[in-house]
Structure 1
Amino acid sequence: MTNLTFFSEFILLGLSADPQIQPLLFVLFLGIYLLTLMGNLAMILVIRGDSHLHTPMYFFLGHLSFLDLCFASVTMPKMLQNFLSQTKTISVWGCITQSFFFLLSGCAEASLLSAMAYDRYAAVCHPLLYTAIMNRPLCSAMVSMAWMVGILNSLVNNLFIQTLHFCGSNIIPHFSCELPSLFPLSCSDPTANKFLLSGCSAFLGLLTLPPILFSYSRIISTILNIRSAAGQGKAFSTCSSHLTVVLLFYSTALFRYISPASGSVLERVVSIQYSVITSLINPLIYSLKNQEVKVALQRVLGQQMCSSEERFTAWRSVREWGRGIFRNTWKGKVFQVSGLEVLPMDQHHQYHPQSYYRRKILGPNS
């Protein structure tokens, strides 16, 4: 061990080592990141600004949009910087910090999707009791549990990653510091860390997948028992957006953490799918397939336009009032300012100090 050289930074290879396509990748992912920020921020603002969306479903959706913001912001700023940089380095502690928040966001989102599946089950299978089942304390507890699972899972794994010593090669064949990509770079035995990560991933799967499978098995059974095609379509539309998000997120995340790390291009593409693309398309899925969100967005935009128009009208009224006072003053009329009667100059524009300002309390004959 005395001949090993320990280092203080990693090199992220990113999506491609070809310098000619780096500017193109920068423009592409900058656009994706900006659209992700705008889409999820718009969802949060619409949900908070429209009282019609203050329901359990949109309470969860608001937290999902915030998690998508976190998920994308953990990796994409550094990725964009590396597209334009020659060094592409990140410190060891910066890498561990990125890994912590990446795992936290992913685990919390998986738990939140499970809670949202139960919400859809209550809405489809027990519509008359929906508000009683999905009450505010239960919704708050489920969201808090999702955050707690994400924090504990990430904290345990990232505390144990500090027991590893990194030496030799410091090149990460990835665009971010995911834990599976760090294990091959350790010169100490990472077997315990691999078992820990696998165990935490299995625990997260057992915690989140059964509620999703149970909820959708009951939802499908309920939909099939509805006799009218219109009723079936309406019932399915209430959960189709969530089901699409679940399939996109879980299919890629499970593939990434179950399969061994290889540093292949497919592995990076899969990571892009669940950490970047999912965050981009989540608000699109929920807005394009949800009429309530469309109506709420139009309502909020209409309120903003009306508010802007009212402010413009008020400013125009104040301006016209000021112009009227100015014109009336030069026509010889009296106007009051702060308890004083202000008289203009006479017709010959001569100044009379005794009569220019006259206190109201003295009367006109003073």
Structure 2
Amino acid sequence: MRFAGTTVAGAAAYAVADVAAGARTKVEQPAVAATEGSPDVNTYSHQPVLLEEAVAALALRPDGRYLDGTFGRGGHARLVLSRLGPTARLLLMDRDRQAIDEAERAFAADARVAIRHAPFSTMAEWDEVRAGLDGVLLDLGVSSPQIDDPSRGFSFQADGPLDMRMDRSRGEPVASWLMRATDAEIADVLWRFGDERRSRAIARAIVAQRQQQPLERTAQLAALVATVPGTRDGHKHPATRTFQALRIFINDELGEVTRGLDAAMAALKPGGRLAVISFHSLEDRLVKQFIAAHDGRATGGRRLPVAVARPALLRPIARIMPGEAELAANPRARSAVLRVAERQP
């Protein structure tokens, strides 16, 4: 398919580092050629970001109870488990069925592990969590195995169905939403979640195109966005912000973070640690503001009324970013930020 001289192949010929801005990164390169299909859960290798830093931030106790709310392919979970004793408990959650399949394959024989297919925001509904937690680890955003699998529809690096759901057992694929949304609704999503300055023009192009032919493929959408004047921005593909915005919206990623942080704080025991890795400024801002809202410090400033200091529920511990060695080994880690806080009595 061709749109104003832009081929589908050309739409996918940009650097992988720009495929999905703000993506959770666990893979350097796919282990197989990028072709559409339903790969086995082990098709893609994984490279956890801030691995040692995140696990150290949990201040593990050999007999503690910990939750990894975004199992992915288990890089962080494996290291955590290697440092726990025989009476410890490690709870694993993910809303991606493929991730849960990998968790069940890897840890079915380990009595210390419990696994649940659900978003981390629902952790309070799990009986295992109600006993309290000594630490919660959240690795936000989309994972590299998801990005690098064309059948998931997160990326325009290789053509695939325009889906983008992290949990394909529920919710609405992006393609379906784009077929029914108004141009104003589409533009709002692109602006709010992608900071796309050409959001209205892109939305109009999408609505015009769907009247002729449904937008059902990632390369189809990427090529269409590339025809909109003013969308080219240096080395990034013109559709980078569009794909990011649609992914965040269709998965309610920011709502998931907000609900998940509340649930994590409620589940943590006094002295328990919250460690959150963010890859996008919108996510990181939510985490930063959440910790600040519960650190007990008075709000306000020189010109604003100073509020009475609130009870301190969280103590900020650290803000950590990848070092030069990690960035050299895994360029996709460049936007990662780890924030750590400790639950107060």
**What TM-score does the superposition give when structure 1 sets the normalisation length?**
0.28
Give TM-score scaled by structure 2 length.
0.30
Between Structure 1 and Structure 2, which shows a larger proportion of strand residues? 2
